[in-house]
Chain A
C-alpha cells in the first residue's frame, strides 16, 4: 500500500445551490495523493455536482476547494493552469467530433503546454496503444464505439499529465458489453498510482478498486469508509437503505 498522507484536494464546507435548490450542503473532505476514492449515492444526491466543483466546472456557492495548496475558487487563481493538472472524464465522453482521434489528444498539450507537435503525437500514439486504439489514430470519433470514445477521452485527459483524474459516471452511457474495457483502463490507471475520484453506479467495481468510498446523499457525505466498512457494516440507515436497493 502506498503511503497516503499528502493531501491533494481538500474541500472545506463546500456548498452549491442551483437557484433555491441546495445541492451541496457543506462537504469537507480530503483526497490524498495516490488515493482511489469512489463516490456512490442516489441520483440527485449531489455526487456529480461535488465532483464538478473539484475542477470548478461548477462554481461553488460557498466554501473552498483547495488543490495542491491553492484555493481554486479565489478570484486571483489562474484556473486554467490548475485545471491542466485535473483530468476529467465525462459520462457522455465529450470527445471532439471535428478532430481526429490523434488531434483530440494532441490539441490541448500543444496549445496550452507548448509541447511540440512531434512530441505530442509520439506520446498520443503511446497512450492510444495503452488503451488499444492505435489503429484508430486517424479516424474521426464518429467511427468509434461508445467504449472506444470513452477510452479516447481518458487518454486525452492523461496527455496533460494530470495529478488527479475525475471520472463522472464513466460507464453509465455505455452498452453493457463496453463497460469492462473502460473499467479495465481505469483500474490500470489506479494501480499505476494515479489519484482517482470516481462517481459510479458500478458497485462491484467500487468495492474492488477503492481505497475509500463516500456515500453522498441529500448534499452531504452521509457515510464514508473503506469498501469493507461501507458495504459490509454500513452504519447510517440511509446507506443501508441505498445499498439494499442497488445490491442484489
Chain B
C-alpha cells in the first residue's frame, strides 16, 4: 500500500466537502465573535463600572474563561447544559458548543473593549462632562468613537484567532473544516485532508491578517 491519492486528486474529488467545512468555520467564528462582542461589551461595562462588587464578578468571569481551555469549556457546555437546563434538551447540540464559543470569545472581547476605552485620554471625558454632557452621551459620542479605531483591528484579530479555535468544534460533530477530516477518514483518506485543511486555515488567516493590517494603516492616517 502506497500513499494513496495525491492532494490535488483529493481536493478535486471532495472540494464540496472542504468548501462546506470552510463556510462552517467562517460562520461559527463569525457567530462566536459577533455575539461574543455584544456580551463582551456588557462585561466591559461591568468591569469599568464604579461598583467594586461588579468589578470582582467581571474579573472572575474573564479569568475563568481565559484561564481554562476552550475544549474543556465545550465539554462542559455539551454535557452539562442539557442536565442543568432541561428546557434546552430539544435544542440542537450545535447550540451548546456555540454557547461555549460565544462565552469564551466574550471574555477576550471584553478585555479588548475595556482596553480600547481606557486608551482614550481621560481629558476627553472630563471635557465632555464639564460641558454638562450626560455619562451616556459622553460614552457614545466622545469615548466610543475614539476607542473604536483601537477596538476594531483587535476585534478582527480575535476573529482570526477564533477561526483556528473553532477547529475544536469538529470534536462535537459541528460541520466545520476540521470535521471534514472525520468525514474523509471514513473513506480511508488519512493524511491528505490534514494538509488540505491546514492549507485552507493558513490561507484564511493570512488573507484576513493582511486585511486587518491595511485597516490599521487606514485608521492611523486619520490620527
Contacts and interface: CB of A to CB of B under 8 A. Distances in A.
B10 interface: no
Interface stretch (A24-32, A63-71, A76-84): A76-84
B134 A80 contact: yes
Contact of A80 (B127, B133, B141, B142): B133
A92 B123 contact: yes
A97 interface: yes
Interface residues of B, number: 18
Contacts of A96: 124, 127-128, 142
A111 B137 contact: yes
A90 B146 contact: no
Interface string A94-129: 111110000000011001100000000000000000
A57 B128 CA distance: 11
Interface string A21-56: 000000000000000000000000000000000010
B130 interface: yes
Of A85, A87, A94, A156, the most chain B CB neighbours within 10 A belong to: A94
Interface string A153-169: 10011001000000000
B132 A84 contact: yes
Contacts of A83: 129-132
Of A80, A81, A84, the most chain B CB neighbours within 10 A belong to: A80
A72 interface: no
A82 B132 CA distance: 7
A108 B123 CA distance: 16
Nearest to A108: B131
B133 A57 contact: no
A57 B129 CA distance: 8
Contact of B131 (A92, A97, A142, A156): A156
Interface in B16-60: none
A90 B133 contact: no
Contact of A111 (B121, B133, B223): B133
B115 interface: no
A88 interface: yes
Contacts of A160: 131-132
A86 interface: yes
Nearest to A83: B132
Nearest to A88: B130
Interface string B86-129: 00000000000000000000000000000000000101101111
Nearest to B140: A111
Contacts of A142: 223
A112 B131 contact: yes
B134 A94 contact: no
A111 B196 CA distance: 55
A94 B121 contact: yes
B211 interface: no
B45 to A, nearest CB: 20
Contacts of A90: 123, 126-127
A159 B133 CA distance: 13
Nearest to A104: B127
A94 B127 contact: yes
Contacts of B141: 107, 111
B145 interface: yes
Contacts of B131: 83-84, 87, 108, 112, 156-157, 160
Given A80-B132, A90-B127, A108-B128, 20 more contacts: A57-B126, A80-B133, A82-B132, A83-B130, A83-B132, A84-B131, A86-B130, A88-B130, A90-B123, A94-B126, A96-B124, A96-B127, A96-B142, A112-B131, A112-B132, A112-B137, A142-B223, A156-B131, A157-B130, A160-B131
Interface of A: 55, 57, 80-88, 90, 92, 94-98, 107-108, 111-112, 142, 153, 156-157, 160
24 contacts: A55-B130, A82-B132, A83-B130, A84-B131, A85-B132, A86-B130, A87-B130, A88-B130, A90-B127, A92-B121, A94-B124, A94-B127, A96-B124, A96-B142, A98-B146, A107-B141, A108-B132, A111-B133, A112-B131, A112-B134, A156-B131, A157-B130, A157-B131, A160-B132
